[in-house]
Amino acid sequence: MSLITLAAGGTGGHVFPALALARSLSARGHSLRLVTDQRGLAFAGDFDPAGIDVISAGGLVSGALHRRATGLFRLARGYVQARSLLRRQKPAAVVGFGGFPSAPPMLAAQHLGLPTLLHEQNGIMGRANAFVSRQVRQISSAFPLLEGVPASAEDRVSAVGNPIRADIVAVGETAFTPPKPNGALNLMVVGGSQGAAVFASLLPAALNRLSPAERARLHLVAQIRDESRAETEARLATLGLGRLEIAPFFSDMPQRLAAAHLVLSRSGATTVHELAAAGRPAIFVPLSVHRDDQQGRNARLLTDPGAALLVREGGDAPQWVAAHISTLLAAPEALADMATKARASALLGAADKLADMVEQEIATP
Q: How many CA atoms lie within 13 A of 138 on its CB side?
A: 20
Which amino acid is it at 253?
A: M
Query: What integer best gives the mean pLDDT of the chain?
Result: 92
For 182-191, write each residue's pLDDT tens digit: 999 999 999 7
Identify which of 177, 172, 217 has the alpha carbon closest to the alpha carbon of residue 325: 217
Q: Residue 71 above 70 pLDDT? A: no
Q: What is the average pLDDT across 204-225?
A: 96
> Taking residues 206-214, what's their average pLDDT?
98
Query: What burial class does residue 236 get, using C-beta atoms within 10 Å of its C-beta: 0-12 exposed, 13-18 middle, 19+ buried?
Result: buried
- Compute the chain's Rg from CA coordinates: 22
Partners of residue 52 on adjacent β-strands? 34
Q: Counting Cβ atoms within 10 Å, is residue 284 exposed (0-12), middle (13-18) or buried (19+)?
A: buried
**Mind listing the pLDDT tens digit for each residue in 295-312?**
999 999 999 999 999 999
- Measured CA to CA, the distance from residue 93 to residue 2 in angstroms comes to 9
Specify the domain boundaries for CATH 3.40.50.2000 within the chain.
3-163+349-362, 168-344
Q: How far apart are CA 364 and CA 114, in angstroms?
A: 12
SS3 content of the chain, % helix, strand, coil (to 5): 50, 15, 35
Q: Let me know: does 215 contact 241? Beta carbons within 8 Å.
A: yes
Degrees to nearest 5, angle at CA 272 with 291 and 274: 150
**What are the tens digits of pLDDT across the range 15-54?**
989 999 999 999 999 999 999 999 889 888 889 999 999 9
pLDDT of residue 364: 81
- Is the pLDDT reported for residue 195 higher than 50? no
User: What is the C-alpha end-to-end distance of the chain, expressed in Å?
Assistant: 16
- CB contact at 8 A, 353 and 161: yes
Q: Is the pLDDT of residue 63 over 60?
A: no
Q: If one looks up domain 3-163+349-362 in CATH, what number appears?
A: 3.40.50.2000
**What pLDDT sits at residue 66?**
59
Residue 356, pLDDT above cutoff 90: yes
Its sign, for the CA torsion 36, 37, 43, 48, is positive
For the segment 124-179, what is each residue's pLDDT rounded down to a tens digit? 998 899 999 999 999 999 999 999 999 999 999 999 999 888 899 999 999 999 99
CA distance 97 to 95: 7
Give the pLDDT band of residue 288 (cuts 50, 70, 90): confident
Whole-number pLDDT of residue 13: 85
Neighbours of 89 (CB within 10 A): 13
Which amino acid makes up residue 43? F
Pairing of strands 3-7, 93-96: parallel
- pLDDT on residue 58: 65
In the chain, the largest separation of any two C-alpha atoms, in whole Å, equals 68
| CATH fold for the domain made of 168-344 | Rossmann fold (3.40.50)
Judge contact between 192 and 265, C-beta under 8 A: yes
